[in-house]
Amino acid sequence: MWDVSLSVNSGEIVAIIGANGSGKSTLLNTISGLMHPAQGSIEFAGNDISVLEPFHIVDLGIALLPEGGRIFPDLTVLENLKIGSYNRKARSESSHNLQRVYQLFPVLKTKEAQLAKTLSGGEKQMLALGRSLMSDPKLILLDEMSLGLAPLLVNDLYRALREIRERGLTILFVEQNVRRSLTEADRAYIMETGRIVLSGNVDDLREEEKVKKAYFGT
């Protein structure tokens, strides 16, 4: 990536849009500490997190939901969720956060004793998102949350995102479905070959000629 500069305000939903290989996942991995920038800085809540390790970044309040969710298939639903609350701050809120996850996704409550590998694709993604919420985050990073899921399941996940935002959380997500991104987000950044080439509120971007030609074929 080169000269990438972006900001996410508290309580916003912000989308990162771009084709495969444009740098979207790399950006989220760098924010979450899985990678470190060669230059520049990343700030969160007044802290420079550029060189921090992922577990320190989770402690500060950032949770990453990676592409594919990456749940633990041979653990139960409940065990997967509890793993999300391993950091000190989240442990004290574990019971409260678990109930909030079950309110968002009641199906997880009914299947809490099942092995995660027995869940459907949509349920696995709900579990992965629920596990992220168990860390008691302030900012959630979502990488292709809806990839490969049926439209009805995608609707359920985005409904959950709206409810999460209403609770005061901030969301930065990567999504290949541009129409959906420009519907669900407040603002968006468009990446091409490691650079941000356009940004703005979603209403303006939907009318941007470059966006229309590149993503909507108009």
Q: Domain spans of the chain?
A: 13-216
Task: Supply the pLDDT for residue 1.
Answer: 54
Q: Collect all residues with Cβ–Cβ distance below 8 Å to 112 and sequence separation of at least 6.
A: 76, 77, 78, 81
CA distances from 96 to 73, 203, 209 (A): 24, 37, 46
Residue 97 has pLDDT above 80, yes or no: yes
Task: Supply the pLDDT for residue 32.
Answer: 95
Residue 123 has pLDDT above 70, yes or no: yes
Residue 170 banded pLDDT, cuts 50, 70, 90: very high
Residue 218 has pLDDT above 70, yes or no: no
Residue 216 has pLDDT above 90, yes or no: no
Quickly tell me which residue has 């992922």 as its tokens: 54
What gap in Å lies between CA 56 and CA 75, rounded to an integer? 25
Percentage of residues of the chain with pLDDT beyond 90: 66
Residue 210 has pLDDT above 90, yes or no: no
| Number of Cβ within a 10 Å radius of residue 25 | 19
Question: What superfamily does domain 13-216 belong to in CATH?
Answer: P-loop containing nucleotide triphosphate hydrolases (3.40.50.300)
- pTM given for the model: 0.90
pLDDT in tens, 71-88: 999 999 999 999 999 887
What gap in Å lies between CA 118 and CA 91, rounded to an integer? 27
